[in-house]
Amino acid sequence: MNSIKTTLMALLLPTVLGVSMGAESSNAPKVLVPPSTSPAAVSTVQPAPTPDRDHPVSSVPDETKAQRDARMGWWRDAKFGMFVHWGVYSVPAGYYDGKPIGGIGEWIMNKGKIPMAEYQKFAKQFTADKFDAAQFVATAKNAGMKYIVITSKHHDGFAMFDTKVNGWNIVQATPFKRDPLKELAEECRKQGIKLGFYYSQAQDWNNGGSANGGKWDKAQEHSMDDYIDKTAIPQIKEILTNYGPDTPAVVWWDTPTDMTKERAARIDAVIQRLRPGLIQNNRLGGGSKGDTETPEQHIPAQGYPGRDWESCMTLNDTWGFKKDDQHWKSTETLIRNLCDIASKGGNYLLNVGPDSHGDIPAESVKRLAEVGAWMKVNGEAIYGTTATPFGEELGKPTEAVDGYGKKRPASSGKVWRATQKPGHVYLIIFQWPKDGKFIVPAFAHTITEANLLADPPAYGFIPKLTVSQNDNGVTVSGLPEKAPDAIASVIDLKY
Ligand code: JFZ
């Protein structure tokens, strides 16, 4: 993968040739027009805006590259967001009838085959008495996260907002009686980060939507179309209009079980009417591709060249709170995941599962703060960057298992990563060299300067780095013996 070359080609070729070049451009006509060598042959008629051929798949058909870039701009720059799975499932917290229920916490109703009437009783214990939107948003901000995506409704159909569509919601069915989405929207605005809503549009185990693996309670039997038209769409209208023109900044669909093309089109029509161009992920269903790929519990070996993408991952092994799950990822894993993802051009959506009081588990808060401390020093190598100009550092794809035990291709290279923005290449080094030198593949521009991003006082002096480069590679010399950061140290190469 040579991103510079790819980007240049992607930028130049479609405008020069006026042709479709993406293998993915399914709807675009594949007409090959030979390049015109004579300017006289170029028509003086203003052509229609060039469709975004190099990012042909989008929730907005036929938008231009400029429109697409403007629409995705903040999201691409953000790189790091907080996923929040919070709902009634945090009350049973992995247990039903005194027995542990296997699997992810927010699936307890399904995995435990809990009847609707039984499950709905949990809402009375959903106190959320510790929930503090200001502190919540501050936890995300302090981690260096630029956006939050919270479950406005998960598969259990419980609305975490003030819905007028039914009574199965946090305002009417719990002692909390408030709308946390409203409080979060206000705080996010105040603290300058974006808020997006997850909405389970297809599966809904309490309002007659679909159910993966089949329904288990007679009371769940219902017409899917009736559910889409009378529950999902009216609630989607509420979440699109009740939280200010900037919120949600993203809508995150999920598990499109039984989503037909028609059902998806009805939902998308509402989005395009009320919030045209809202960023949508690729899980609406019915064949829609959305704006973003959503690899889950794994990091793809090469990213998704030509597509916007976001890896969503848990901090332990569950999305929704489970009191027994203490299988926390190390801060080293989290920071290196973030670097790995950024180096492949993606975003990292890292999950927290607050408990029924509204507290984010302390083990999560601690790790997020540690990632945030790293970001305060090294964030320049992450925010606003694009994928590596090299690619060799990713190694040959190897087989690994994802967070669900499924086999996935992953990167074998574990020594370093790179990101770039105009004028800078950032080398993010996981295994610090012992000989004071770091060598990377050849780079197309002349490097003028090399600096460590870490605080010079860590050494008591400012290390003077030198760079030499030729067709075989770039060598950075003069590196201090000790890594500036034990987890990931950044060299900023200026060109
Ligand atoms: C879905 C949800 O069912 C889950 O509760 C959580 O919200 C997560 C973020 O998304 O889970 C999935 C979706 C897709 C796969 C696995 C779990 N998959 O493709 O393997």
Alpha carbons 119 and 379: distance in angstroms, whole number: 43
- Binned at pLDDT 50, 70 and 90, residue 308 comes out as very high
330-366 pLDDT per residue, tens: 999 999 999 999 999 999 999 999 999 999 999 999 9
Residue 438: pLDDT over 50:
yes
C-beta separation of 228 from 269 below 8 A = no
C-beta separation of 313 from 403 below 8 A = yes
3-class SS of residue 242: coil
Indicate which residue's Cα is closest to atom 12 of ligand 1: 255
Alpha carbons 192 and 488: distance in angstroms, whole number: 27
Alpha carbons 88 and 159: distance in angstroms, whole number: 10
Ligand 1 atom, smallest distance to 151 CA: 7
- Residues 93-110, mean pLDDT to the nearest whole number: 98
Tokens 């870039």 locate to 69
Indicate which residue's Cα is closest to atom 15 of ligand 1: 296
Ligand 1 pocket mutation pick from 106, 198, 255 by most atoms within 8 angstroms of CB: 255
Residue 14: pLDDT over 70:
no
DSSP, residue by residue, 301-337:
SS--TTSEEEEEE-SSS-SS--TT---PPPHHHHHHH
What phi and psi, each to the nearest 5 degrees, are found at residue 428? -110, 110
Ligand 1 centroid–CA 255 distance in Å is: 7
Q: What pLDDT, on a 0 to 100 scale, did the predictor assign at position 82?
A: 99
Ligand 1 centroid–CA 89 distance in Å is: 15
Ligand 1 centroid–CA 350 distance in Å is: 14
Q: What pLDDT, on a 0 to 100 scale, did the predictor assign at position 459?
A: 66
Could you say which DSSP state residue 203 is in? B
Q: What pLDDT, on a 0 to 100 scale, did the predictor assign at position 49?
A: 43
- Binned at pLDDT 50, 70 and 90, residue 59 comes out as confident
319 lines ligand 1 (CB under 6 A): yes
Q: What pLDDT, on a 0 to 100 scale, did the predictor assign at position 13?
A: 29
- Binned at pLDDT 50, 70 and 90, residue 5 comes out as very low
Average pLDDT, the chain: 89
Ligand 1 pocket mutation pick from 296, 298, 401, 402 by most atoms within 8 angstroms of CB: 296
Residue 97: pLDDT over 70:
yes
257 lines ligand 1 (CB under 6 A): no
pTM: 0.89
DSSP, residue by residue, 336-401:
HHHHHHHHTT-EEEEEE---TTSPPPHHHHHHHHHHHHHHHHHGGGTTT-B--S--GGG-S-EEEE
Residue 372: pLDDT over 70:
yes
Q: What pLDDT, on a 0 to 100 scale, did the predictor assign at position 19?
A: 26
273 lines ligand 1 (CB under 6 A): no
21-50 pLDDT per residue, tens: 222 333 332 322 333 333 333 334 444 444
Indicate which residue's Cα is closest to atom 19 of ligand 1: 296
333's CB contacts (< 8 A; 6+ apart) are: none
Q: What share of the chain is helix, strand, coil (3-state, %, to 5)?
A: 30, 20, 50
Q: What pLDDT, on a 0 to 100 scale, did the predictor assign at position 456?
A: 62
Give the end-to-end CA distance of the chain in Å, rounded to a whole number.
21
Alpha carbons 357 and 21: distance in angstroms, whole number: 52
Ligand 1 centroid–CA 312 distance in Å is: 10
DSSP, residue by residue, 135-193:
HHHHHHHHTT--EEEEEEE-TT--BSS--SS-S-BHHHHSSS-S-HHHHHHHHHHHHT-
Indicate which residue's Cα is closest to atom 11 of ligand 1: 255
Ligand 1 centroid–CA 293 distance in Å is: 13
In the Cβ-directed half-sphere of 181, how many Cα atoms lie within 13 Å?
31
312 lines ligand 1 (CB under 6 A): yes
Alpha carbons 479 and 489: distance in angstroms, whole number: 11
Q: What pLDDT, on a 0 to 100 scale, did the predictor assign at position 306?
A: 87
Q: What pLDDT, on a 0 to 100 scale, did the predictor assign at position 30?
A: 30
Indicate which residue's Cα is closest to atom 6 of ligand 1: 319
Residue 10: pLDDT over 90:
no
Which pairs count as long-range contacts for 241-244, CB under 8 Å and 24+ apart, including other chains? Answer: 241/274, 242/161, 242/162, 242/182, 243/181, 243/182, 243/185, 243/195, 244/185, 244/189
Q: What pLDDT, on a 0 to 100 scale, did the predictor assign at position 322?
A: 98
- Residues 147-163, mean pLDDT to the nearest whole number: 99
89 lines ligand 1 (CB under 6 A): no
255 lines ligand 1 (CB under 6 A): yes
- Binned at pLDDT 50, 70 and 90, residue 64 comes out as confident
Indicate which residue's Cα is closest to atom 17 of ligand 1: 296
Q: What pLDDT, on a 0 to 100 scale, did the predictor assign at position 57?
A: 60
3-class SS of residue 266: helix
96's CB contacts (< 8 A; 6+ apart) are: 108, 112, 114
- Binned at pLDDT 50, 70 and 90, residue 442 comes out as very high
Ligand 1 atom, smallest distance to 203 CA: 3
Q: What pLDDT, on a 0 to 100 scale, did the predictor assign at position 457?
A: 59
C-beta separation of 309 from 293 below 8 A = yes
- Identify the helix (H) or strand (E) that includes residue 477: strand 473-477
Tokens 């989290």 locate to 334
Alpha carbons 63 and 248: distance in angstroms, whole number: 21
Beta-bridge mates of residue 339: none
- Residues 149-168, mean pLDDT to the nearest whole number: 98
6-15, 250-259, 386-395, 475-484: segment of lowest average pLDDT: 6-15
Ligand 1 atom, smallest distance to 351 CA: 9
149 lines ligand 1 (CB under 6 A): no
Higher pLDDT, 26 or 224: 224
- Residues 152-165, mean pLDDT to the nearest whole number: 98
Residue 8: pLDDT over 80:
no
Instruction: Quote the distance between the C-alpha of residue 143 and its chain's center.
Output: 15
Ligand 1 atom, smallest distance to 107 CA: 5
177-211 pLDDT per residue, tens: 999 999 999 999 999 999 999 999 999 999 999 99
Ligand 1 atom, smallest distance to 319 CA: 6
